[in-house]
Structure 1
Amino acid sequence: MERLNLEGWLPIRVWQEAGQWQVDWCWFGDTRLHQPFFRDAVEDALRLPFNQAFRRKTALSTLSDWQVCSPGLMPSAFIFHASRCGSTLISQMLAQLDNHIVISEPPPLDALLRSDVPAVERCAAIKGLLSAYGQRRLGVEQRLVIKLDAWNIGELPLLRECFPETPWLFLYRDPLEIAVSHLRRPGMHMVPGMIGASVLDEEFPFSSREDYIARRLGRLLASGLAQCRAFGGLAVNYSELPQAMAGRLAAFFALDIEQRRQVFAAVGQHAKQPLQVFVGDSDDKRREASALLCEQVEHWARVPYEALEKDRSLRQLLQWPGVLL
């Protein structure tokens, strides 16, 4: 691999072509990734005349070579989430910090995590991918935070094999509020057949959109609960935000006093649409929920949600005994 040819370039796609895995690269130069999602940053970069004229495609092994000849930052934290529950708010708050690289739901990582690439080769490629994202393109970067897609909670054990020391959290919210959001505008994982095989799948047919969303949401919360218990993840409720970024999440992300002040510059903005002012919508969503949706959510998702709440409260009590929560 020619290192100089890839300075300022980031992997934007990983796919299989004629039986061989390939990597598509895009030139970002020293531009910071400040957009809510990595795909937004890619769309902006692809509008540059340079990227319209020049593209770079390499073999998957290039990612492993990259890590050897030009190692980037190791990931300092992983953010897993139940979707529509504040993970973008957290990532946008951290994106206010110049010394943080925040990569939000990069499609190449999802593609590798759920690929059929042999285990050893896949782990090497994942390490190389995150090393590429962790390049110090501005020279001041010190931490790399990766937010994954909601369904990637099923691939957490694989990611732990690659990065066993990296702390991670699982963010969730009252399932009725999440379900209403997906009824309004369904995420990819709430549309049958959209994302392919995942931990959210089951063999039984569904009777309605409400049934489908509630069942997949229940499996998502149950997976988050199981992984938190198995691998010591930090369970965080949407109701704690944004205040927790000055408290226990500030400790989790190792933010100093000045950084805690800086991250709150993004709080007044809508996380997914930065030009809009954020307005809490929990009450509106509850009022909007139909009787059928309420019934399905209670049946499929309420139990894992309450278990997550119990585990979260217990962990906080163990951290701060004698403190009323």
Structure 2
Amino acid sequence: MRVSLKDVAQRAGVSIKTVSNVVNNYQHVTPAMRARVQQAIDELGYRPNLTARHLRKGRTGIIALALPELGNPYFAELAGAVVDAAARHDYTVLLDHTGGLREREILVSQGFSARVIDGLILSPIELETEDLRARSDDAPLVLLGERRYDLPHDHIAIDNIAGARAAVRHLLDLGRRRIAFLGARRDRTHQPAHLRQLGWQAELAASGVAEEASLIGPTQGWERSDGAGAMAALLDAGQRPDAVFAYNDLIAIGAMRVLFERGLRVPEDVAVVGFDDITEGRFGAVTLTTIAPDKQAIARLAVESIIASLAGEENRPRQLQPEFALVARESTLGRR
């Protein structure tokens, strides 16, 4: 049978209220009393009934998280961080995959009821402002990523232009001058690839290095195969860069594979920088230099935004900008 607060109270020889205070981490409990109750909890194996706790507050205890690509390691790692952040507030995360398709993003943004979830964290790719204005669901919404909407919802995104400039500055400081950009998406100017290309251009211009359009490698997607294809296309066209800045780590990893197959050394012949700091980049034959967004901060801010909205806190909407860091590894520095 399920262990109750009453069972714990009887084992500890205290009131049910005292047990509740300990379970809910209220401050006005003496250390000795807290230890006594905790011992009883451990002995009986008591677990709080989180569902009942949320229902008493008129909530479900569920936050929905909708991401464009669960197969992408960056989004998988971000999802794990959101799950961990939500758990610290006794929330469960319901995960959905939109594929970056507008119809799926509309369905997710409008298809939940506040009676099903307490809040939605959404990373949109194609969603338009009018889609969100038509939203009837009154559950709190937090937006992730680079799309800007003039709407009363918190928005969380790192500074992609600044991150790209830091990557290019690192390569320039190493003496590289023919720096390719892989991952351009010329048909979608609202995506992060466009912002990262702008950062590439801005840092080259600030350093007096001529931008070479022939060193821009467009891709259709974000995968390793896209990076391999873009790198092969540049080399086949006789455009050999001395460095590559890739839209993300997967494209960078695909590019490094082609460089290896063509007999080019990383970083001696071509230095490579990615973006996202996925785990895979730390364990290749050549570890990957990358721009590392603070995924833990993104997750924490998103969950805390939902919690604050549920508590009725004002000062919305907010534009929140987590930090990033350049992590230099073997793909630019070599083995030391």
Same fold, TM-score > 0.5, yes or no:
no
Q: Which bin holds the TM-score, normalised by the shorter protein?
A: under 0.3
| Larger helix proportion of the pair | 1
Higher relative contact order (CA 8 A, sep 6+): 1
Name the TM-score, length of structure 2 as normaliser: 0.27
TM-score (norm 1): 0.28
Instruction: Look at both structures and tell me which one has the larger radius of gyration over its CA atoms.
Output: 2
